[in-house]
Amino acid sequence: MAFSIMGILAVLLEVFRPVLPLLALVLVIDAALLALVIRRREHMQFAAARRAALVVAAIAFVFSLVALPMLTGASHGSLSGALDWLALFGASIGVAIAAALLAWPLLQLALGSDRRKPMIPIE
């Protein structure tokens, strides 16, 4: 079962099991923030928040390149071939995309409001 898809999913479940409740809470909060951003989208500018989300993604990518092997008890020295390094880079790209998607609604609310337009229309 070590190299089957079920074996890989079982290992991933055991790695992430301690943080699943926290991850669920973060996803619920992020969904609420995303709903708030969607509700206010006509008063938003997206460039600043998009740049900040890309910075968060770059930091998460570098951090995950260093930290992901340690989650399994391995080290970078135990990565044996191109396939291991490719898997590490692929997982790090996935972590970076997830970090950017999770950070974007909060960054959008913090950095993206258009101060020239009032939030409540004045008639």
39 against 76, higher pLDDT: 39
Separation CA 116–CA 119 (nearest Å)? 9
- Verdict on whether the full-model pTM lies above 0.75: no
CA 84/CA 52 separation, integer angstroms: 30
Domain range summary for the chain, segments of one domain joined by +: 21-111
Tokens of residue 69, six digits: 């092997």
Q: Greatest CA separation found in the chain?
A: 67
**Tens of pLDDT along 44-90?**
788 888 899 999 999 999 999 988 888 777 777 777 888 888 888 99
Exposure string for 59-89, b = 16+ CB within 10 A, e = fewer: ebbeebbeebbeeeeeeeeeeeeeeeeeebe
* Mean pLDDT value across the chain: 84
- pLDDT of residue 2 exceeding 60, the answer is no
